[in-house]
């Protein structure tokens, strides 16, 4: 890989992917909104391109021999906007427009970013009597994006690869998602409360996520889906008890006080073997180590 484009380049995953690509001497064209570049390094191989999702087709990129177009930009990936139906559907349309842009500027392959929630969404909709939570609106947006991009890519003649993340966490994340919120409670001395934790889960540290994206771009097969995970999926409670032992041995973790509104996926859904076989990716950072690093970083923010 010599040249890559990254949308959402200043975000949590985006800026880590940019750094990973630069470490392999890849020339990176980083598409950023409102000149947000505070998370990006200074590097001669990094080109900053202003853009906004609403007008992605107008992004100013010269026709060139680009190897990969990584589309990470997505509005409402965390917080209350996950339940914004209009926004999540619009994200799917913006993904299609990004795909068409990639084709028009001479890019060889388009890497879309999906989520394990695509599988949860399908299972939830197909389960009789189930009452899914609002988070599945975000999952539905990703699922629609996946389906439309795959059809359009086939029609216009560009290779599509779909990378699905289980649950990314680590240094640099400021969203109100589970790991971040739980560690903040631990730092403040508050006992965190959870569901019973019997549902299967997986978490993957940000350094592993960015390395996986690089390897998927380098070695992934066209029109294949690749799961990015730790290959240690298990019931959520086991992860949380590992976190407690690692960074909060003196705090009580309360299980069962929060109702579970989701769908429990079969453990086989978290199988990353195809990713490992095709791309050479294997997660390196275990959950205990990853949560220690994340806690130290979050504490450093409070001290500044």
CA distance 154 to 289: 41
Residue 300: CA count within 13 A, CB half-sphere: 8
Look at residue 286 in the predicted model and tell me its pLDDT: 97
Query: What per-residue confidence (pLDDT) applies to 304?
Result: 64
Count Cα neighbours of 162 within 13 Å in the Cβ-side half-sphere. Answer: 20
Please tell me the predicted confidence (pLDDT) of residue 36. 84
Q: Shortest CA distance to 163 belongs to which of 208, 108, 121?
A: 208
* Residue 186 CB partners (closer than 8 Å, separation 6+): 192, 247, 248, 251, 295
3-state secondary structure 28-74: EEEEECCCCCCCCCCCCCEEEEECCHHHHHHCCCCCCCCCEEEECCC
What is the SS3 assignment for 103? helix
Q: What is the pLDDT of residue 3?
A: 97
Q: Where are the alpha helices (DSSP H) in the chain?
A: 12-23, 85-104, 117-126, 136-156, 178-187, 206-219, 236-247, 273-279, 287-303
Q: At what angle do helices 287-303 and 236-247 cross, to 10 degrees?
A: 50
- What's the rounded Cα separation, in Å, for the pair 215 and 284? 14
CATH fold label, 3-173+202-232+268-285: Rossmann fold (3.40.50)
* pLDDT tens digits along 36-79: 888 999 999 999 999 988 888 888 898 889 999 999 999 998 88
Nearest alpha carbon to residue 102 among 1, 7, 21: 7
Domains of the chain, by residue range, sit at 3-173+202-232+268-285
Exposed, middle or buried, 33 (CB in 10 Å: 0-12/13-18/19+)? middle
Question: What is residue 270's predicted lDDT score, i.e. its pLDDT?
Answer: 97
Distance of CA 247 to the CA centre of its chain: 24
The reported pLDDT for the residue numbered 302 is 79
Look at residue 275 and give its three-state secondary structure.
helix
Per residue of the chain (304 residues), give pLDDT as tens: 999 999 999 999 999 999 999 999 999 999 998 878 889 999 999 999 999 888 888 888 988 899 999 999 999 988 899 999 999 999 999 999 999 999 999 999 999 999 999 999 999 888 888 888 888 999 999 999 999 999 999 999 999 999 999 999 999 998 889 999 999 999 999 999 999 999 999 999 999 999 999 999 999 999 999 999 999 999 999 999 999 999 999 999 999 988 887 889 999 999 999 999 999 999 999 999 999 999 999 999 877 6
φ and ψ at residue 70, rounded to 5 degrees: -90, 115
Contacts of 97 (CB under 8 A, 6+ apart): 56, 57
Phi, psi at 53, each rounded to 5°: -60, -35
30 vs 51: CA distance, rounded Å: 10
Instruction: State pTM to two decimals.
Output: 0.95
For 287, the token pair is: 């959950």
Angle CA 113–197–126, to nearest 5? 55
């Amino acid at each position: 890989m010599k040249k890559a484009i990254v949308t959402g380049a200043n975000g949590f995953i985006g800026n880590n992917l940019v750094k990973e690509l630069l470490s392999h001497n890849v020339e990176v064209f980083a598409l950023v909104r409102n000149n947000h570049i505070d998370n990006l390094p200074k590097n001669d191989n990094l080109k900053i391109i202003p853009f906004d999702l609403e007008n992605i087709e107008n992004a100013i990129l010269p026709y060139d021999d680009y190897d990969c177009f990584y589309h990470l930009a997505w509005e409402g990936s965390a917080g209350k906007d996950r339940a914004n139906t209009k926004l999540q559907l619009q994200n799917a349309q913006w993904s299609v427009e990004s795909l068409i842009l990639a084709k028009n500027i001479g890019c060889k392959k388009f890497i879309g970013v999906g989520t394990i929630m695509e599988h949860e969404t399908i299972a939830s909709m197909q389960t009789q009597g189930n009452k899914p939570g609002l988070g599945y609106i975000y999952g539905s947006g990703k699922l629609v994006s996946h389906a439309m991009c795959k059809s359009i890519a086939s029609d216009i003649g560009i290779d599509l690869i779909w990378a699905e993340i289980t649950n990314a966490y680590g240094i640099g994340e400021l969203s109100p998602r589970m790991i971040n919120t739980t560690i903040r409670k631990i730092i403040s001395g508050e006992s965190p409360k959870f569901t019973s934790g019997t549902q299967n889960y997986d978490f993957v540290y940000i350094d592993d996520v960015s390395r996986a994206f690089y390897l998927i771009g380098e070695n992934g097969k066209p029109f294949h889906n690749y799961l990015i995970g730790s290959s240690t999926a298990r019931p959520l409670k086991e992860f949380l008890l590992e976190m407690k032992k690692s960074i909060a041995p003196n705090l009580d973790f309360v299980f069962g006080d929060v109702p579970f509104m989701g769908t429990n996926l079969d453990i086989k859904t978290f199988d990353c073997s195809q990713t490992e076989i095709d791309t050479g990716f294997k997660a390196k950072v275990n959950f205990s180590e990853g949560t220690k690093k994340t806690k130290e970083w979050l504490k450093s923010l409070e001290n500044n």
